[in-house]
Amino acid sequence: MSRFAFALLAAAALAGPAVAQEAKNFNGPFIGAQLGWQQDRQSLDLGTVPPSTVRAKGDGFAYGGQIGYDFNLGSAVLGVETSLTGRTGSNRFPTFDLEAGRTINVTARAGWLVTPEGLLYARGGYSNARFSVTNPAGGAENRDGYTVGAGYEQMLGKNVSARIEYAYSDYGNDSLPGIGGGGASLNYHRHAVMTGVNFRF
């Protein structure tokens, strides 16, 4: 009996490090950096009779960082994340330019482990983006909205993972300060493809 108990203890001791190693995949806090492409699309309703709408879209380089926490539930992973990004470029309308500033996202995600090192996931939550009227100089405002997306994340080593993700964001409609005497309405949308690296603890 003692030999059997000793064998069980030895097996547990050998299996323990392997189980602990696997449990570290997509579990616990992380911090990272991201970069990629964003395209902002706006539709400007000039408030005229008959109705007149002008559309613009602009591409930009996006960059930033994120911090979050993952919960490994076995075959599934739940997580929360906060990110801060900036971008280059602006959208040009006939009488003004619209420049995008920083964006803050607070999101939750749910994913499925397709392999012990690979996570396929969906994401959604709150987004706040800053937009400024330039050329000529005009007003600036922070827009509240939502963001949804999907991506794939792969463990590269013991505490490092990399991901690629698509996201769509909507910031609603609002009067644009300083344009059309306040009667113009602008609709805000964004598409983004981002890559990122996370360092896990």
Give me the amino acid identity at 191.
H
CA 8 to chain centroid: 46
Question: Please, what's the b/e burial string for 78-106 (b: 16 or more CB within 10 A of its CB; e: otherwise)?
Answer: ebebebebebebbbebeebbbbbeebebe
Tens digit of each residue's pLDDT, the chain (201 residues): 445 444 434 444 444 444 444 457 999 999 999 999 999 988 887 766 666 778 888 899 999 999 999 999 999 999 999 999 999 988 888 778 888 889 999 999 999 999 999 999 999 999 999 988 887 777 788 999 999 999 999 999 989 999 999 999 999 987 755 555 556 777 899 999 999 999 999
Q: Domain 2-200 carries which CATH code? A: 2.40.160.20
Q: Which residues contact 48 (CB under 8 A, 6 or more apart)?
A: none
Q: Are 22 and 116 in contact (CB under 8 A)?
A: yes
